[in-house]
Amino acid sequence: MTPTLNLTINGVPQQIALDDPRATLLDVLRERIGLTGTKKGCDRGQCGACTVLIDGRRMNSCLALALSHDGAEITTVEGLADGDQLHPVQAAFIAHDGFQCGYCTPGQIMSAVGLIAEGEAGLDPERVREGMSGNLCRCAAYAGITEAVLDATR
């Protein structure tokens, strides 16, 4: 029998028949739901490009077995903006040039949103760098990323 996965993705309840019970949340989001903002980089938990929020906690979706999160609330980068109004973290990334090629940016932004939501009052540059260390940027836009995260907490 094909298992059915129930997820609320960016506020929208979804029922997904899973042909492959081994599917990762990353593959479900990209290939079944069509939310390709979440990127596949390494597909093995090393780059952070696939970061999403699962019940408010940031996680590498390439390491998340989709079925093990049945009933969860998932937030992807597509769910951050409110209409034309960017999320403050998105706006801060633009203001501080927190990207170059942009491939890692959705994961960086989701990780930043999660880091800030973890209640990190008084984030300083060192804590931001440590908290964002699971998100790699091959263009090395780290200075702008750190500034963006700090700005979004102000």
Chain positions contacting ligand FES, by CB under 6 A: 40-43, 45-50, 60, 62
**Least distance in angstroms from the C-beta of 71 to ligand FES:** 22
**Closest Cα partner for 63 from 74, 52, 73?**
52
Enter the tokens of residue 56.
């408010």
**Least distance in angstroms from the C-beta of 84 to ligand FES:** 29
User: By beta-carbon distance, which residue lies closest to ligand FES?
Assistant: 62
Map tokens 């170059």 to a residue: 100
Enter the tokens of residue 150.
């700090």
The amino acid at residue 52 is V
Order of strands across the sheet with 4-9?
12-17, 4-9, 73-75, 51-54, 57-60
Q: Toward ligand FES, which CB reaches closer, 60 or 90?
A: 60
**Least distance in angstroms from the C-beta of 41 to ligand FES:** 4
**Least distance in angstroms from the C-beta of 48 to ligand FES:** 5
Q: Toward ligand FES, which CB reaches closer, 96 or 107?
A: 107
Q: Are 68 and 54 in contact (CB under 8 A)?
A: no
Q: Toward ligand FES, which CB reaches closer, 47 or 148?
A: 47
Q: Toward ligand FES, which CB reaches closer, 25 or 148?
A: 25
Q: Are 91 and 150 in contact (CB under 8 A)?
A: no
